[in-house]
Amino acid sequence: MTSSPCVAVVGKGGVGKTTLAAFTLRRLLERSVKPLLAIDADPSSCLASVLGVDVGDTIGGIREDTRAAAKGIPEGIPKQQYLEMRVQQAVTEAAGFDFLSMGRPEGPGCYCFVNNVLREHLDRLTRSYRATVIDCEAGLEHLSRRTTQNVDAMILTADPTVKALETVRTVLEIAERLDSRVKRKLLVVNRVPPGAEDRVMEAVRRRLDLAAFEAVAMIPQDSAIFEAELAGQSLLEIETDIPSYRAYTQFLDGLTKSLV
């Protein structure tokens, strides 16, 4: 494993990616893994609000500003240097970790130069952290376009629905094409109604070959998460002794090889 492992949470829309990304970050914070970087790679996501972070600039915004000709770039500064500076400024300092938002994906047009430079900077930036947690977008744009760096551990998330499990299968296929870039694959079935575990597991087995995963977890449907949402409370601040967080941390802590 690299010394700056990157953990990416992926899956269909609405299955709990942002929640699990926040839980992962919280567990790493509890274990004093630092410095830590959280990346919101979902343009419509709310990782920032779930973590209680105010977002500034996004990578998408920087990309647009820079691509829209030289107008956004102060005279006398090389484009590469300018981009690097903007990326550094876009990193928000939060309580115990740093935060970066990818923002909107690119529109039509050629972004190759800007994208290449940004990718290089992002790779360098993540290497300066002890670990990075990425909340990926449902469309897997970053994965398939390789704007996401190497993934050490991919948390493939599904809720107990056929569509979500099918998405996991598609992600596995994409990950396969990225070959060695995804090192570890973990399956998390989220929002499992208590008492339905066996039936859910049966449905999961019917749709997915569990041999593809290093480990499989089931996280219960938990009213504490709903209450936190309702109160607008950060998932970094809610009580930890709740069924979903207990189950998730037990899963992470029980991995033969620790995530970070």
Ligand X SMILES: Nc1ncnc2c1ncn2[C@@H]1O[C@H](COP(=O)(O)OP(=O)(O)OP(=O)(O)O)[C@@H](O)[C@H]1O
Interface residue list for ligand X (CB under 6 A): 11, 13-19, 42, 45, 138, 190-191, 219, 221-222, 225-226, 229, 244
User: Binds 152, which of ligand X, Mg ion, none (CB < 5 to 8 A, cut-off by type)?
Assistant: none
CB-wise, 83 or 236, nearer to Mg ion? Answer: 236
CB-wise, 130 or 246, nearer to ligand X? Answer: 246
Residue 167 binds Mg ion (CB under 5 A) = no
With contacts defined by CB under 5 A, name the span among 42-50, 139-147, 182-190, 206-214 that binds Mg ion: 42-50
Minimum separation from the CB atom of position 235 to Mg ion (A): 12
Residue 190 binds Mg ion (CB under 5 A) = no
Residue 45 binds Mg ion (CB under 5 A) = yes
CB-wise, 26 or 86, nearer to ligand X? Answer: 26
C-beta separation of 165 from 208 below 8 A: yes
CB-wise, 42 or 98, nearer to ligand X? Answer: 42
CB-wise, 67 or 221, nearer to Mg ion? Answer: 221
Nearest-CB residue for Mg ion: 18
Residue 18 binds Mg ion (CB under 5 A) = yes
User: Binds 107, which of ligand X, Mg ion, none (CB < 5 to 8 A, cut-off by type)?
Assistant: none
Enumerate binding residues for Mg ion (CB under 5 A).
Answer: 17-18, 45
